[in-house]
Each structure stands twice: as structure tokens, then as C-alpha cells.
Amino acid sequence: MNIAMILDMAAEAFGDRVAVVSGDSRYTYAELRVAAQCAAIAVRDSGARYLALLDVNSPAAPVAIFAAAYAGVSYVPLNYRLTRAEINELVDRIAPALLIVNADTRALVDPRADVQLIDRADFLSMPATDTVAPEPAEDPRAVAVQLFTSGTTGKPKAAILRHENLMSYIVGTVEFAAAEEDDAILVTVPPYHIAGISSVLSSTYACRRMVQLENFEAKAWLEACARENVSNAFIVPTMLSRIVEHLGTRGAAELPTLRALAYGGGKMPQSTIERAMQLFPQVDFTNAYGLTETSSTIAVLGPDDHRVAAASGDPAIRRRLASVGKPTAAVEIEVRDEEGRVLGPEEAGLVFVRGGQVSGEYLALGSQLDADGWFPTRDRGYTDAEGFLFLDGRADDVIVRGGENISPGEIEDVLLSHPAVADAAVVAMPDEQWGEVAAAAIVLKAGASVTVAELQERVKQQLRSSRVPQAIVFRDALPYNELGKVLRRVIRQEFVQAASALSA
Amino acid sequence: MLNTAVLKAGARFKSAVCDTQVMVIKAPAGEHLLSCGGSAMIAASSTPPADAKLDPNAAGETLIGKRYVNADESVELLCTKGGKGSLALNGTPLEVKQAKQLPSSD
């Protein structure tokens, strides 16, 4: 078993179909396979243990995923947005390696004998030698992909995905050659994100044309949709917000060929998805929930679920627009309490997942699965009576006030419901009496104003006094990562410093 | 039984008489006779016997990307390369499994 089989099958069945479009550059599935096999020979001959990528989206990403698989080494895409020091720390952990760079990222890597740098253009034009392409190894336990997770504390963990995990995901959730001849998916997630990997594997197995954008920008995204007759796209919530903002009242006419829009990677504001569904009534929306450690998607809120929820007057059904849907057929999901007891509907706890695609494993740290194969996602959540899963933040973000667990999400929802509030993040702040208390960072809408006391009273009225943020600060903007996840640790750190300054 | 094999998930087999190749998605423990085109399938790396010929009674074609199952779906194979022979398990023909209707999520 080897993920190279995914490309072999696509090239065998639809070799002439366009696989990747990036600017003026195009590869058919047959050409993608030749490029990957030629690159695999170079990888094998280099003696590298890893094939790494420090680059934006380009055809080098899919070529490298499969070249590593053919050559029997692990593929490691690195985050080019990290600092120079952070990048070199990661490079040190993967040597000896062959590292694909571009003109900008080459300068970020400190020269060293055991890491060979190769420019993207050279990597993509490896000569077809007389040497026979490596026969892919069939060990299902071999590591196909290694991704460094953005650790909230300490150094990044190296999550590993084995060939059997990724193959289980693809075979379990994608139908081979499911794409129509003219289908195209617009890819904007960066190559170092799990969605960047799963997108290549899913699209290749579906024999779907991939249209790559180097970076997300609403105008360029809309132009690419129109130019390439894009039928599918995956985006993160902030991208959808920007697309909706950019379009204003113009809607479906701007995207005549778009049929399916999948989103994930963070909490989608309900107003944004409602607005998007109004703008694009012809589009099938899918919310996908997944993690790096689970080879991507484990739960899906499908197009029909969206339409039923949006059309319902029943609040219990309507709120499913904020749910991540039901587990895919390839995995099982359980919600458990702190003692490990499986909880019933409407009982909030910790989300666990099990299935062949779940690796739950880090280099050095080993497997995090329990004896029965369950992986603790560290996401909090609950299901409704029909099994729809709702997420309620990360376990690490829970505020423990005098032994009581408080979810930042419910407080944020109340703050966001105030007409003057544009954005809000609630975090734990150290407190002498309670251990931790809630604290909030608020962004006001342009020209709007509200007092701290007014917001505190609102939380007290709608929730209860223990939920009231003891400190509220106003900011011009909240810190987000490039995929639209609010950086709570940065906000938390500010409150920690403020609290220690007070007690000093 | 002659030519039986353990069908381990992830294992790959090829036809002795046509281009068909399969990967095991799931199978019960124990030894089974997996055949294609009327002859036992062989390990992906081995050489087919010279005298093996496609049995016209087992020439229903196997299609790339399709999943093949037995009646109770305890065995599931993925066809990774198509060919002229049809698949059978312990003498009983395998059927194409219904395609999944899943929304594209990535």
C-alpha cells in the first residue's frame, strides 16, 4: 500500500485530463506522474531521508507529495511564514533532506552540508533518465507525510501520517473518478496545512483538475473562479467572510460555474454562512471538520443539512448551521467526560475519534491513541439527539474558575450579539481567588461605542455572574493566524502580563 | 484448497490472465481463493504461470476504481487496474459495490 497508487490510478484512467493549473503552467495526470517519477529518482539518488518543501502553492507541491511516495521517503512541507530561526530549527530536525525552495525562501535557510536546496523550477524539470523509476515500497506503516503542528507552547510537534492512514481516508471518503470532465477545484490552503495535502490526494483520486492560487485574496480568488470555470473550492471561514464582503450584493452571477463550496479550519460565524447561502443559492455548502492527526476530514455537514437547517423555523434544527455535521462513514466519534464516560446527547465533553485514517501519532512522543484505538482530539463538543456534532472550543482554552469549567465560546457569542461589537475573544486570566477568571478582548465596529460595565452586565443577564469577564480590553484588531484562527495564546499572554503587573 | 491466500488489508494482487490488479480493503481472517478470469490471483510482484489463459466464463471485465464485494460485504477489494477477467472469491463472483454519495470536503 502506497499513496503513489492514487496517482497511478488517475494517470491510468484519465492520463490526458488536466491535473494541475498554476498560472500559465498545466500538467495532465500523465505528466504529473512522469514529473513525480523523475523527481523520485533524484530524491532516491540524493540519499535524503525527507523531501521537504518551503514554498507557496505551485505544481511542486503535488509533484513532491507523490515523488516522496515513489522514492519511499517522507514528505515534509514547511511553513514559509515562520521566522528564519524557526524555519532553521525545523530544517535541523529533518536533515538529511532535499529541500525545495523558491527565490524568496532560499535566503531563509542557513547553508548546511546535509540539506540540499533545489529551486522549484529545477525540481519540476528533472530529466527523464534511463534509470527506471523506483517501484513504490508497499509497507503500509511507512510514513508518507510529516507535518509540524503549530504548538501553542514549546517546540512544534511532528505529526506523522502513514500510507495506511492517508489511503484509508481517501478510499473511505472519495469515490474514484467522481469528478466530471470539466470539474475544477480552486486550492488556496497553503501546502503545509493538512487540507493542502488531503486536497491533492482527494482531487487526484477523483481525477479532478486542481487550480492553484499562491495566496488568498478575494479579488484574485473570484477572478480565478471565472477564468478557470471553477466548480469546487475549499476555503477557511475568514476567506468566505472576505469573499462575501467583496461581492456586496452581487452574488451568483459572479460565480456561474461554482457548484460546491467546502469550508473548515475554524469556527464559521453563523451570519457569514447564512449570507453566503443567500448570495449563492445554487451552491452546495459543506462544512468539514478534521485535524492534522486524523488525515483531515472526520465529520461533514452536507449540502442538504445546510438547506434543511437554513429553511427551518425550529431553533433546534436551525442551529445545525453552526454544527460540524455527522461522522463520515470512515470513522466513529464519541463525546466523553473527564473520567472517560461516554456522554449522551446535549452533554458537553471531550471529542474522541477512531478509524483507519486516524494516526494520532507524533515523532518522538509516539501514539496518543488509547488501548481501543481512540484519539483525544482535545476539542470540546456535544451532539444533538440526531447525532449532529457541535464544537465548543479547545480543551486547552477552557477557563477553570474555582473548579467550574467555562467555555469561552458561549461568552463570546453573548459579546458578539451586542450591536457595537465587531469581534471578541475570551481567554483565561490568572486570578488569586478563583485560580482563573474570564477576560475579554473586544474590537468595536467603526464609530460604535460601549462601556465595559454594559458588556459585563449583558453577560451577567444572559449567562450568569461566574461568566462575566473580569477584565475587558478594547483593541483595533485581534491577532489571527493566516488560516483565520484567533491566537488565544497571544491574548492570554497579554492578560497574564497585565495581571502580574497589577499584583507586583 | 489450492492457491489460497490470506487477504490482508492493503495487500495487492494481480490477475494471472489479464491486466486486472486489486488492493484488499477488508477481508475476514483465514485463507481464501481469490480468482480473476478463472485463475487464482497472484502477488503483485510475482510472474504469472505461462499456461494460464482467460476463462471465457469469467471474462466479465473488472473496472478501475470500482470496489468489489461478496454478498455479506465481509470482503471488499478495490480495483487499481482494470482488466478483462471478472473477480471471484472461493468460486463465487464478486459484485460491484454501490458508489458512495459523499460531498467533496477538501
pLDDT at A152: 53
Sign of CA dihedral A83, A84, A87, A92: negative
Note whether B80 contacts A284, CB cutoff 8 Å: no
Query: A442 Cβ partners below 8 Å, 6+ apart?
Result: A415, A421, A423, A424, A455, A472, A473, A474, A475
Of A356, A143, A11, A74, the C-alpha closest to B24 is A356
How does the average pLDDT of chain A come out, rounded? 92
The grid coordinates listed for A80 are: 514559509
Q: Name chain B contacts of A174, Cβ cutoff 8 Å.
A: 100, 102, 104
The DSSP symbol for A132 reads: P
Best mutation site among B26, B69, B105 for testing chain A: the one with the most A CBs within 10 Å? B105
A445, A418 Cβ separation under 8 angstroms: no
Amino acid code (one letter) for A287: N
Q: Do domains A1-163 and A398-503 have the same CATH topology?
A: no
pLDDT at A455: 96
Note whether A12 contacts B10, CB cutoff 8 Å: no
Note whether B106 contacts A198, CB cutoff 8 Å: yes
* CATH code, A331-394: 2.30.38.10
B29 touches chain A (CB under 8 A): no
- Distance, in Å, from the CA atom of A28 to the CA atom of A503, rounded to the nearest integer, reads 64
For residues A411-419, give the mean pLDDT: 93
- Cα–chain center distance at A60: 20
Structural domain boundaries in chain A: 1-163, 331-394, 398-503
Smallest CA–CA distance, residue B22 to chain A, in Å, is: 11
Question: Considering only A146-160, A170-184, A291-305, which range has the smallest mean pLDDT?
Answer: A146-160
Smallest CA–CA distance, residue A287 to chain B, in Å, is: 7
B57 touches chain A (CB under 8 A): no
Q: For residue range A312-359, what is the model confidence (pLDDT) as tens digits?
A: 999 999 999 999 999 999 999 999 998 999 999 999 999 999 999 999
CB nearest to A9's CB, from B65, B99, B105 = B65
B106 touches chain A (CB under 8 A): yes
- May I ask the CATH class of domain A1-163? alpha beta
The A residues from 239 to 268 touching B (CB cutoff 8 Å) are 260, 262, 264
CB nearest to B10's CB, from A164, A185, A262 = A164
Of A412, A289, A293, the C-alpha closest to A362 is A293
How would you classify the pairing of strands A232-235 and A184-187? parallel
For residues A409-427, give the mean pLDDT: 93
Note whether B104 contacts A260, CB cutoff 8 Å: yes
Note whether A262 contacts B81, CB cutoff 8 Å: no
Q: Name chain B contacts of A175, Cβ cutoff 8 Å.
A: 65, 99-100, 102
Q: For residue range A158-190, what is the model confidence (pLDDT) as tens digits?
A: 999 999 999 999 999 999 999 999 999 999 999
CB nearest to B106's CB, from A175, A177, A296 = A296
Which superfamily, per CATH, for A398-503? Answer: ANL, C-terminal domain (3.30.300.30)
